[in-house]
């Protein structure tokens, strides 16, 4: 979990760019009509733990992920996993590409090296496109229990992730020196990258590694207000699930479960056919051929309350602005002017998240193979010929129907007024909180984002409350003309919001109950799922609320059932 600090004023150029390109719009209920598939496998439940493999104890002893690097110079104990391998034998070398143009799970690249899987082994050589160095492929050293069993690979920044045949994740970071294969680790998960492992779920069709380090290559990201924020460093895995509607994300400092997701384009209604990622940015293609990108991971989302401060309040004229919430939305990109597939690639560029190189496998007008390319900040695609064999599936696909969002309606009373949350979604914010005040609707905006949870939980909502960082917003159109609103509306807003447009605090949700803790508003819906009499304790949730209360100038929210 990284830390981020504000370094400069807002970027007007980015704001213009986002306005021109657009972000995901409200769901078109006429277009989104297909029922969502039922999710039967929701991942590990609260309180579960991963047990280490007793036959592979050395898998958990590697230097990657340690809070502090070992006090030894790089190379002082011998070559590392990249430097120490033997040259690839001719029968394998002939199958390896001269360059890796598109990252995937068979071939990928870090900032300095290409990496590829062949016959259960990893091979590596200099990233010629970046370094200008030409060299032969050589084997990358891996732990004993991974030798001959590598099934997939993904890389970004200074990190390489490899899977075995069971899709267990092995991590290697060149920044954490270890001689030979000792840099690799199978550890993954809270607290602090010390849990005993994580695996890519069996139904995942595409997954990608994203790494930002806070180095000269990763100086800043741009928040939703267009302000530059300094990057500390974060490792994320984006995983496109088998239904094509969900993007699970994983982080080695977070619990090893499937409970965190990136809300998909158009409020999760777009079925996706391909995914890639790099530098805290995820890129997808819908089955209809539309291409989207989004800057999103744990730190950007607003979850890392321990290391730095966020704010839902407008920071425009604040002397020391905090990290602006909500997180940036999806950007829908211009249409590719030719044939292309669902095979995507993304490469980060220094010094910040304004620039990413997008690549999409395809054909030119003469039928020659290669890829379409553009910078994330540009509109025009250009074709680069490679003459390599096509691996992806040509887009668009036949079935492009939109799915209904994963929304639920909760109702009740607030201060004696009938109230409803029309469309709460466990992964797609915001929702509408509607009150009927003297016969007229007052629509407020309910924001939510996953918080600093340190215990595992199942995906979605169940009887153990899913706790979010949240805010209720008075829309600007109402706030700016509050004196013209009916007296009852003025009284309600001033009583609960005072001088601030956002009412902040934790929100907890189960299938049957939605509770906004700061004002202690509780709404309900019919559900066969019983709430736990005592929620599963989580020190991370408690710590996050105490810290959030301090930064927002309020007392920690306590609302009894």
CA distances from 256 to 188, 386, 459, 476, 550 (A): 7, 39, 12, 39, 29
Q: Angle at the Cα of 429 (from 425 to 432), degrees rounded to 5?
A: 80
Taking only the tens place, the pLDDT of each residue in 510-536 is 999 999 999 999 999 999 999 988 777
- Give SS3 for 340: strand
User: Once rounded to an integer, what is the mean pLDDT over residues 60-81?
Assistant: 87
Listed range (359-373, 389-403, 405-419, 535-549) with the worst mean pLDDT: 535-549
**Over 50: is that where the pLDDT of 153 sits?**
yes
**Over 60: is that where the pLDDT of 139 sits?**
yes
Taking only the tens place, the pLDDT of each residue in 200-235 is 999 999 999 999 988 877 888 899 999 988 888 899
Angstrom distance (rounded) from CA 7 to CA 190: 29
8-state DSSP, 60: G
Q: Which H helix or E strand runs over 341?
A: strand 340-348
The string of DSSP letters for 143-154 reads: -GGGTT---EEE
Angstrom distance (rounded) from CA 358 to CA 352: 15
Write down the pLDDT at residue 389. Answer: 97
């Amino acid at each position: 979990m990284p830390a981020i600090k504000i370094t400069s004023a807002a970027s007007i150029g980015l704001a213009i760019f986002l306005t021109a390109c657009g972000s995901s719009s409200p769901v078109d209920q006429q277009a989104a009509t297909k029922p969502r598939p039922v999710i039967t496998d929701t991942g590990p439940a609260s309180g579960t733990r991963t047990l280490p493999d007793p036959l592979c104890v050395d898998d958990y002893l590697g230097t990657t992920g340690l809070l502090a690097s070992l006090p030894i110079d790089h190379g002082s104990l011998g070559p590392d996993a990249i430097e120490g391998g033997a040259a690839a034998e001719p029968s394998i070398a002939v199958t390896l590409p001269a360059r890796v143009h598109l990252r995937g799970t068979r071939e990928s690249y870090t900032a300095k090296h290409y990496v590829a899987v062949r016959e259960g082994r990893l091979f590596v050589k200099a990233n010629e496109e970046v370094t200008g160095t030409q060299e032969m492929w050589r084997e990358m050293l891996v732990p004993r229990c991974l030798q001959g069993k590598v099934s997939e690979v993904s890389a970004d920044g200074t990190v390489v992730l490899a899977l075995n045949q069971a899709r267990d994740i092995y991590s290697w970071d060149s920044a954490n020196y270890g001689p030979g294969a000792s840099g690799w680790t199978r550890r993954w998960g809270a607290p602090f990258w010390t849990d005993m492992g994580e695996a890519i779920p069996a139904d995942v069709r595409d997954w990608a590694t994203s790494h930002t380090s806070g180095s000269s290559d990763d100086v800043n990201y741009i928040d939703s207000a267009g302000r530059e924020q300094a990057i500390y460093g974060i490792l994320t895995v984006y995983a496109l699930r088998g239904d094509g509607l969900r993007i699970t994300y994983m982080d080695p400092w977070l619990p090893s479960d499937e409970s965190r997701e990136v809300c998909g384009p158009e409020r999760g209604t777009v079925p996706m056919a391909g995914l890639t990622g790099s530098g805290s940015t995820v890129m997808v293609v819908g089955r209809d051929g539309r291409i989207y990108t989004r800057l999103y991971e744990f730190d950007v989302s607003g979850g890392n309350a321990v290391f730095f401060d966020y704010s839902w309040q407008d920071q425009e004229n604040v002397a020391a602005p905090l990290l602006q919430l909500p997180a940036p939305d999806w950007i829908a990109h211009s249409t590719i002017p030719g044939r292309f597939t669902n095979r995507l690639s993304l490469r980060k560029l220094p010094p910040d998240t304004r620039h990413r190189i997008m690549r999409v496998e395809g054909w030119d007008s003469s039928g020659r193979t290669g890829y379409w390319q553009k910078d994330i900040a540009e509109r025009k695609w250009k074709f680069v010929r490679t003459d390599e064999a096509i691996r992806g599936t040509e887009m668009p696909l036949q079935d492009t129907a939109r799915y209904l969002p994963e929304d639920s309606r909760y109702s009740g009373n607030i201060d004696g007024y009938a109230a409803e949350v029309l469309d709460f979604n466990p992964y797609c914010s915001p929702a509408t909180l509607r009150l009927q005040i003297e016969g007229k609707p007052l629509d407020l905006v309910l924001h939510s984002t996953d918080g600093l949870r340190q215990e595992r939980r199942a995906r979605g909502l169940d009887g153990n409350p899913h706790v979010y960082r949240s805010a209720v917003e008075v829309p600007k159109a109402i706030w700016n003309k509050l004196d013209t609103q009916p007296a009852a509306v003025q009284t309600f807003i001033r009583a609960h919001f005072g001088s601030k447009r956002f009412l902040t605090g934790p929100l907890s949700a189960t299938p049957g109950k939605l509770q906004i803790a700061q004002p202690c508003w509780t709404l309900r819906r019919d559900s066969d799922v019983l709430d736990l009499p005592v929620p599963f304790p989580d020190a991370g949730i408690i710590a996050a609320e105490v810290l959030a209360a301090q930064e927002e100038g309020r007392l920690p929210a306590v609302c009894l059932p």
